[in-house]
Amino acid sequence: MKLSFSSVKAWLGTKSQHNTQSSKVTGDNNIVEQNINVYVTGIEDWKRNSLTLGLPITSAVSTQLAIEAETGDANETDEIKRVIAYREIANGGDSNTALKLLEELKTDAKYQSGYVAFRLDFNIGVILQNIGEHEQASKRLRAAYTFCPKHPKAQSGLAFADLLDGNDEEALEKASALLSVEGDHLNICAIIALHASKRLERDFAVENFKLCDGKHADVIGARLEHLRIMRPDEYLSALEEAKKADPDNLNLASMWANAVLEDVKQNQAFLLGAKLSDDFERNVSKSARILKDELETALKQRPPNRLLLSSQANNAAVALRLAGKTKEASKLLDRTLEEHPELVDELGQVRAVLYLQEDRDIDAFELISPLVEHPALQVMASEIEAKMGDTKKALNRINTVLKLDMPEGLRLHALTSKARIGINSAERSAADEALEELAADYVKSPELVLLKSAYSRAFELRVAANEVEDLPVIMGIQSADEQELLTSLDGLGEWSFFELLQAADELFARGFYRESAELLRDKVSFKRESPALQTLCDACLRGSMGSLANAIRDSLSAEVKNSVFGWKFCANVGILTGENTKIVPLTRKLFEANPSSLGSLHWYVQSLLRANEKNRINRLVKSLNDDDLTGTVTERCEYTKLLVFCDEIERARSYAYRLFCENQNDHNSWMALSSSILAFGKPPTKTDELALDEVAADATFEVVTPDGSVRKYVLEQNKKLFPLRQENIALDHPIAKASVGCKQGDTFIWPLDQEDNKATVKSVKHKALEAFHFVIQRFEEKFPDANGFKSVKCDPSKEDGLDEIKAMLQQRSQYGQQKAKEYYEGSYPISILGHHLGLDAIDTFLGLKRECGFPAKVSSCEHSDQDAATATLKQARSDGILLDPLAVYLLRRLDVTEAIEKEFGKIGITQNTIDIFSTRTHEAERMGSYDESGNKRSAHMSSQNGQIILSEMSEDEINAKVKLVQSDLNWLQASCELIPAVARIDPPNEIIRFRNEKGGRFFDDLFACDGSNRILISDDLHLRQWGSGLFKTRSAWIQALLFHLEEAQHISTEKVVKATIGFVAQIG
């Protein structure tokens, strides 16, 4: 279990395991099992965690003013014109050069007194202000005032100095007084007054001063800033109006861009995938361009305004991240930090966030962990440290932070982070401490409920019975934590989207898939991949809510559909709804996108298998290089079985042997090796590479040495395998050279003895065969709880030599009798009985009377049911019919499918029916093995009346069966209409959970009939009753169908009579 960290200013990325659908190719009987369970695509936790997501847009320094460039006129003196010319150099971006030139003028006597000296110091002060040197700027402005104390502009410079020094009252008083005096100081005084009153939080109506130019761009900007603080409700509309009037004003564009991104919670919701207006998404892209350009312009300044640069870089990075341009954001920040490393304290957080998004956790940690003066960054560092596995240091770090004084919001975040670290790492004491403080100080925090729920999942054991025969399923009793979690959802109106998504994730983890989906439904954008969309899609898939999943698939943007996430989701929806034709191209794209992934390969193979594309699977497997494929041990085991399935026996054995050597403590690798060794025997046209009777490459041989000890050696020629077994020796080893060609009983000169004594070869086997024999001997001892091999004593030469086999067969027979009796006395579909017996519904139906003595239940034999069936079949002429697997099998044997099509149109089936017949085909193809004469035979052992019964099939009988079942499958795919297994409305959770259990896919037929309004044809009484009770499904059984076809003159009375007699004999 992994939980995401909620973060106020962090973006922590804990990647969860990616679940992928895989083809299940079992080694038992070498049969491909068609696994159609829905597997959920994985979600990356870091995308849910943070507030870059919560990184805020930061405002410019409050004392930073936009001051117009001075302009001269023809009457200015040459000295003033030179000052203005140098000021223009600063306006062009090179303040360093401008200041140097202006300072050099001080050495000239003409610039040391009077009006010229005032103008010189005034301009130096303004330039210093523009580059963020406020203290020096104030000094120069005050110095300028001393040269012309009565000049209004000099007095405005004094007001400016007061503002820079934080003397807001004095600045406002002086600037306001000067607004009634004519001169070129009016705009700067208006700007000073507006900024001072903003900081004092006082209203100031600049329009009341008639001399002031209220339409001047810099005055408008200052007025908007004042409005943003004093009357925020009016700010955006006023800003839009100003921007419309002056669209080329870069200052207004920057203000607009920051305003778009000012709402942190809205940004967070956007990143998480909330459905927002189309305008917001467009505005985000525009804002990113504006703020990026602003930062790039600032970086060209010499020097840039250091007081503004950090906020400009932060805002540009946040905007680019929101616009999905993470790489651009990273490059800009790296450039900024490279040129201005002193900004690491201010920009460390946003850069660390981007590192995390790029899976560069170590880089993020190394960047911010030394910044111990910043509690927020230390909390973030502790989260990363925990993610990297050092829980102890992470908790020590966050405990240190919690001892400091800090804002309440940060303390809440630190405590929730500590709680999640404790929960994720099973450090219960740490989780207890954090939850205690949260409960004491933040009882109303929505996250407290979610954390308590997560705590319960992590530390409180819960036992849930989940037996398939418990149907009808009754919702389990909810724990106190679950009840509190569900009750807390009543207050969702006050929750942020971040908290909403966390609640949905917790519901998902608890198994409340429907509730999780409903929480996000209609709140998530389908335009882009996002954490919220992933959770919504996963909840639909895990909850098997086919109707909602279908609607989401149809609503996804083309961009999402054509992404890896989109391919996986749409493929899973196809699996869920049984639309295999839509799955194959998607799984092909997934495999092409990651051709070395065994997980992707199994997705693709699974879809081809369900499409009965055996030849394509064979071609695909032949084209693969086994050494290039990567995956988990389980996936590699599945690949071994796939090789066996495709008759790539030598490759399978080689691959499985290596897998066994590399994973000798994993029972799956032992079973994979076994399946490759037991693969079908040897057809007469092939040689058996395991038939090794002399010492050669890949042989395992035992040697009796001259001193009487027995040693084992493996002649290993694969260098990659050489270190994996201590018995391995190379072909050029002295013992190998001396023994090559020797057979069992042969002797050779022992090369390790100088006296030329001889050693004897005790045994020779292929190395894979020897490993298999080891598996058989040691499996039960090594893996007592794993499914695999069970040893049974067997000695046909003794009177009691078969007693253990008899006991096992009798036990199996008794179990079958017991389950058959439960079925006969109960009221559940025959598919459930088949699941218990390891059979499909067809074989269960056919063998129920013959093997167990109980008749199958086909009809209630009530006239009302017969009348209802008759009426229903008349409606089927317009609505169509759907056959379940049993009906397909029986009606194919009766050869009435053409008559059915004439009466009702194209026959409907579900993918589940195709899957069952596909499995029957594969089983038939893999029946038996070749004997020593090269003949293929199959045998089945059972118990009857205390005796062992061995039933055999010849090769001709096997081939006839293969031909018959293959014709069934071909007919299904060529002549029937595939109906999606989607109900009109997603059924209740109890039904969905049951359907997802093994043996529950018979519900597909009921879902399909409900969604398509077709009539179900089935000889399973209880399946029809369940359909009627749960979905109001209309249905009929085969005998009623035959009578209807006879009445419609599509079949003869003779055929109906023969069929009826046959059915009676079949079901008793």
| pLDDT tens-digit series, residues 267-323 | 888 888 888 888 888 888 999 999 999 999 999 988 888 888 989 999 999 899 888
Position 39 scores a pLDDT of 26
> Please, which pLDDT band fits residue 71 given cuts at 50, 70 and 90?
low
Rounded average pLDDT over 798-826: 84
Mean pLDDT score, 878-898: 94
Q: Name the range with the highest mean pLDDT among 37-46, 72-81, 282-291.
A: 282-291
**C-alpha neighbours within 13 Å on the C-beta side of residue 566:** 18
Domain with CATH 3.40.50.1010 in the chain: 863-931+955-1067
pLDDT of 1031 reads 92
**Which has more confidence, 905 or 28?**
905
**Which residue, chain included where needed, has tokens 């050669």?**
696
pLDDT at 859: 87
Examine the pLDDT at 952 and tell me if it is beyond 90: no
Of 214, 412, 510, nearest to 205 (Cα)?
214
Q: What is the pLDDT of residue 433?
A: 93
- CATH topology for 863-931+955-1067 is Rossmann fold (3.40.50)
**Residue 728: its H or E element:** strand 728-729
Decide if pLDDT at 210 tops 90: no
- Percent of the chain, pLDDT > 90? 48
At which residue do the structure tokens 């709140």 appear? 523
Instruction: Dig out the tokens for 35 from the structure.
Output: 């696994």
pLDDT (mean) for 771-788 = 88
For residue 465, what are the CA distances in angstroms to 462, 475, 476, 831, 990? 10, 11, 9, 21, 14
| Mean pLDDT calculated for residue range 889-907 | 93
Is the pLDDT assigned to residue 686 strictly greater than 90? Answer: no
Average pLDDT over residues 238-257: 90
Q: Which residue has the higher pLDDT, 851 or 332?
A: 332
CA 508 to chain CA mean position, Å: 13
Q: Please state the rounded mean pLDDT for residues 982-1007.
A: 88
The pLDDT value recorded for residue 512 is: 85
Question: Can you give the pLDDT at residue 64?
Answer: 55
Residue 5 has pLDDT above 50, yes or no: no
C-alpha 583/C-alpha 574 separation (Å) is 6
pLDDT of 1007: 94
pLDDT beyond 80 at 1066: no
Least confident of 157-161, 975-979, 988-992: 988-992
pLDDT, the chain, mean: 84
Q: Which helix (H) or strand (E) holds 513?
A: helix 513-520
**Residue 492, pLDDT score:** 58
- Of 516-520, 578-582, 745-749, least confident by mean pLDDT is 578-582
Quick one: CA torsion of 525, 530, 535, 541, rounded to 10 degrees? 80
CATH class of the region 699-782 = alpha beta
**Stretch 857-874: mean pLDDT, rounded?**
89
| The pLDDT of residue 461 is above 50 | no
Pull the structure tokens for residue 924. Answer: 């038939």
Residues 451, 437 contacting (CB under 8 angstroms): no
Arithmetic mean of pLDDT, 1021-1046: 93
pLDDT in tens, 377-391: 999 999 999 988 889
Rounded CA separation 250/290 (Å): 8
Query: Is the four-CA dihedral 950, 956, 958, 961 of positive or negative sign?
Result: negative
How many Å apart are CA 209 and CA 223, to the nearest integer? 13
User: Which helix H or strand E contains 715, and what residues bound it?
Assistant: strand 710-715
Lowest-confidence segment of 324-338, 436-450, 820-834 by average pLDDT: 436-450
Reported as a pLDDT band with limits 50, 70 and 90, residue 689 is confident
The 10s digit of each residue's pLDDT in 401-434 is 999 998 988 999 999 999 999 988 889 999 999 9
Q: What is the CA radius of gyration of the chain?
A: 40
Mean pLDDT of 563-576: 91
Element (H, E) at 761: strand 758-766
Write the pLDDT tens digit of every residue in 326-347: 889 999 999 999 999 999 999 9
Confidence (pLDDT) at 1033: 94
1059 falls in which pLDDT band (50, 70, 90)?
Answer: confident
- 489 — pLDDT class (breaks 50, 70, 90): low
Average pLDDT of 390-395? 92
Is 358's pLDDT higher than 70?
yes
In the chain, % of residues over pLDDT 70: 88
Q: How many other CB atoms sit within 10 Å of the CB of residue 43? A: 23
Q: Which of 435-439, 459-463, 745-749 has the lowest mean pLDDT?
A: 459-463
What are the start and end residues of each CATH 3.10.50 domain in the chain? 699-782
Gap between the Cα atoms of 253 and 246, Å rounded: 9
Checking if the pLDDT of 473 tops 50, the result is no
The average pLDDT across 912-931 equals: 87
The region of weakest confidence among 662-666, 676-680, 685-689, 799-803 is 685-689
Q: Return the pLDDT at 1056.
A: 84
- Contact predicate 854/821, CB 8 Å: yes
Average pLDDT over residues 620-628: 94
For residue 261, the SS3 value is: coil
* Per-residue pLDDT at 460: 66
In sequence order, what are the residues at sequence separation of 6 or more whose Cβ sits closer than 8 angstroms to the Cβ of residue 621?
Answer: 642, 643, 646, 648
State yes or no: pLDDT of 758 exceeds 70.
yes
**Residue 125 burial class via C-beta count within 10 angstroms: exposed 0-12, middle 13-18, buried 19 and up:** buried
Q: What per-residue confidence (pLDDT) applies to 1063?
A: 65
Q: Once rounded to an integer, what is the mean pLDDT over residues 567-590? A: 91
What's the rounded mean pLDDT across residues 797-822? 83
Q: In terms of C-beta density within 10 A (0-12 exposed, 13-18 middle, 19 or more buried), how is residue 1045 classed?
A: buried
